[in-house]
């Protein structure tokens, strides 16, 4: 395989596995040409070039779920995006197109199908999105993160993860990680709502900060860009607040318990490294965050709590005693690791290589 085109963007949930697969393919073959399709407004516009891969821009094509102006503009927008994807396939001589969902995947799938280029789909969430439901209908291979994802001919690959997460040894890095964040050796809770933060988590933990500290529970709180705060009344164990964390590998190594949203990437990272967690599904969307956490909850590696139940009193009554219960956390950590997959990038790369093996024949049929 000489050239691959990766399509996915808009959110970290799409871009992170795209980059993990790109890195894996590059490790296997340093000479392979890897190009990404993306939009100017998505995270990929910054993250893909920063990782050293070229990105070709395609127009953003929102797929409206209800009647709107976007619905009327959809045919024209889609035609322009498909033409841009076709130009990208031609200019890169792509032998396979790999889509991760999001705005750019639909035109990439349609362009690849038109030109007889094999397609590989990877679905991150337990409940697939519109783009990947379309692409899976004519894909050569479909990789899914969760075994219950309803896509045809799916192979469970798990989530392609960043190398620093997939290879993380939490125990070996714990002392370094806690020193990095200015933490002590006390029981440690990591609170994170992702790069955008989670306002309810922020408010509940800020209100309980003094009591957590007095009980000997230290907190590493990633509050979100522009949402950091100064915890009040902290006189015991440290309470460290960051607006953003670019070393999540060290954050995971420092933690004994995590409180987080249950986005697919978060669930897969936490289970891969064997961290017990309390998952708080996003209260909007199509319910995929609840489904994403189902397998680890069933295994005993995590707890699930509704967003509306997250209050300072809940932190006092549930989070604080759990953080101080080392025996229970140890059992939850083992259960979490039992459903984790560290080799999702390699498993997905196997599907991509196999699909590309038939590229010449498929393209020949299209001509």
Binding residues for UDP-N-acetyl-alpha-D-glucosamine are: 11-13, 125, 162, 195, 289
Backbone angles phi, psi at 179, to 5 degrees: -65, -40
Annotated binding residues, written as ranges, equal: 11-13, 125, 162, 195, 289
Task: Please give the Cα distance from 192 to 215 (Å, whole number).
Answer: 21
Task: Please give the Cα distance from 334 to 299 (Å, whole number).
Answer: 10
Task: Please give the Cα distance from 189 to 241 (Å, whole number).
Answer: 12
3-state helix, strand, coil in the chain (%, to 5): 45, 15, 40
Give the torsion through C-alpha atoms of 130, 14, 125, 85, to 10 deg: 30
Give the torsion through C-alpha atoms of 84, 119, 13, 43, to 10 deg: -20
- Structure tokens given for 333: 């950590």
- Structure tokens given for 117: 């280029």
Task: Please give the Cα distance from 174 to 182 (Å, whole number).
Answer: 12
Backbone angles phi, psi at 150, to 5 degrees: -90, 80
Task: Please give the Cα distance from 239 to 231 (Å, whole number).
Answer: 7
Q: How far is CA 220 from the centre of its chain?
A: 20
Q: How far is CA 338 from the centre of its chain?
A: 19
H or E element in which residue 248 lies: helix 248-254
Name the residue among 254, 279, 242 with its Cα closest to residue 168.
254
Task: Please give the Cα distance from 312 to 203 (Å, whole number).
Answer: 8
Contact present, 93 and 1 (Cβ < 8 Å): no
């Amino acid at each position: 395989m000489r050239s691959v085109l990766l399509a996915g963007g808009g959110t970290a949930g799409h871009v992170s596995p795209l980059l993990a697969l790109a890195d894996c393919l590059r490790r296997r073959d340093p000479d392979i040409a890897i190009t990404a399709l993306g939009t100017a407004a998505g995270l990929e516009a910054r993250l893909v070039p920063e990782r050293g891969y070229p990105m070709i821009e395609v127009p953003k094509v929102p797929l409206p779920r209800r009647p709107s102006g976007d619905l009327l503009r959809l045919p024209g927008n889609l035609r322009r995006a498909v033409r841009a994807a076709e130009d990208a396939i031609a200019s890169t001589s792509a032998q396979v197109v790999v889509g991760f969902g999001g705005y750019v995947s639909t035109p990439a799938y349609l362009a690849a199908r038109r030109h007889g280029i094999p397609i590989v789909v990877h679905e991150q969430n337990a409940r697939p999105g519109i783009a990947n439901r379309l692409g899976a209908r004519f894909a050569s291979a479909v990789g899914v993160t969760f075994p219950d994802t309803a896509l045809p001919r799916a192979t469970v690959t798990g989530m392609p993860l960043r190398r620093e997460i997939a290879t993380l040894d939490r125990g070996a890095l714990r002392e370094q990680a806690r020193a990095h964040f200015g933490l002590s050796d006390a029981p440690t809770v990591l609170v994170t709502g992702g790069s955008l933060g989670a306002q309810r988590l922020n408010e509940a933990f800020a209100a309980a900060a003094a009591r957590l500290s007095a009980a000997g529970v230290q907190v590493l709180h990633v509050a979100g860009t522009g949402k950091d705060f100064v915890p009040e009344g902290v006189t015991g164990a440290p309470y460290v607040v960051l607006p953003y964390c670019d070393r999540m590998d060290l954050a995971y190594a420092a933690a004994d318990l995590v409180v987080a949203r249950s986005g697919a990437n978060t669930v897969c990272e936490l289970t891969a490294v064997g961290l017990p967690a309390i998952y708080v599904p996003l209260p909007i969307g199509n319910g995929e965050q609840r489904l994403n956490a189902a397998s680890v909850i069933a295994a005993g590696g995590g707890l699930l709590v509704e967003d509306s139940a997250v209050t300072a009193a809940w932190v006092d009554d549930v989070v604080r005693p759990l953080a101080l219960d080392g025996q229970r956390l140890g059992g939850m950590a083992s259960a979490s690791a039992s459903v984790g997959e560290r080799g999702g990038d390699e498993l997905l790369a196997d599907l991509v290589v196999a699909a590309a093996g038939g590229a010449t024949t498929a393209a020949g049929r299209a001509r």
